[in-house]
Amino acid sequence: MTDEHLMESIQNDEINDLGILYEKYKTALYSYFVHLHQSAFVAEDLVQNVFERILKYQHQFKGDGNLRSWIFQIARNVSYDYFRKERKHRSDEVKPSLNIVSKQPGPLDKLDVADKKNQLHYALSQLSADKREVVMLVKIGEMKYREVAELLNENESTIKVKVFRAIKELREIMVHQNIMTHYE
């Protein structure tokens, strides 16, 4: 069953199909939110918020577009709402940063796959929010450049350039942090 058929079924009160949609998109959405907010707890809550909004606004999906793009537009809105809420609550506080990995990994750290993932998360956190977002949408969200361009109201070639530059900067960060060499 295609995504669009699943959504049509949900719109026809087959709410159990929302579970199928959840299983299909939860990992991509979770990864997207973890990289944006650097918190597993926040990511879990935001994924739930996305599916609550899908259920709430199900009749706004007309079937003439890509469901993945529609879902990630909801995810962006959920993320922006979270940022606004957090900024309001923490306007006088300094937000504690999540120390995912040390800045000086030892030689044994390079051997551990889990550590490499942590180092990648750390490197991604060093990118600006807009660069991190395009990388996450294309690489983790598995969206096509065209879909990201529509989502961000930008030209497709602009998105390609942004992704290219973000990946180049990410690679430079990883080389600088001794996570990878110039040749990897």
13: region left, alpha or beta (phi > 0 left; psi from -120 to 50 alpha)? left
Residue 112 reports pLDDT greater than 80: no
Q: How far apart are CA 127 and CA 136, in angstroms?
A: 11
* Over residues 121-133, mean pLDDT: 84
CB-CB neighbours of 67 under 10 Å? 20
Predicted confidence band of residue 84 (pLDDT cuts 50, 70, 90):
confident
The whole-number pLDDT of residue 87 equals: 73
- Find the helix packing angle between 113-125 and 156-176, rounded to 10°: 120
Helix, strand, or coil (residue 118): helix
Q: Report the percentage of the chain scoring pLDDT > 90.
A: 22
Which range is least confidently modeled, 120-124, 135-139, 169-173? 120-124
The whole-number pLDDT of residue 114 equals: 63
Q: In whole numbers, what is the pLDDT of the chain averaged over residues?
A: 80
* Over residues 163-173, mean pLDDT: 88
Q: What are the structural domains, with CATH classification, of the chain? A: 3-89 (1.10.1740.10), 107-176 (1.10.10.10)
> What's the pLDDT tens digit per position in 45-63?
999 999 999 999 999 998 7
Residue 88 reports pLDDT greater than 90: no
Interior/surface letters 3-29, b for 16+ CB within 10 angstroms, e for the rest: beebbbbbeeeeeebbeebeeebeebb
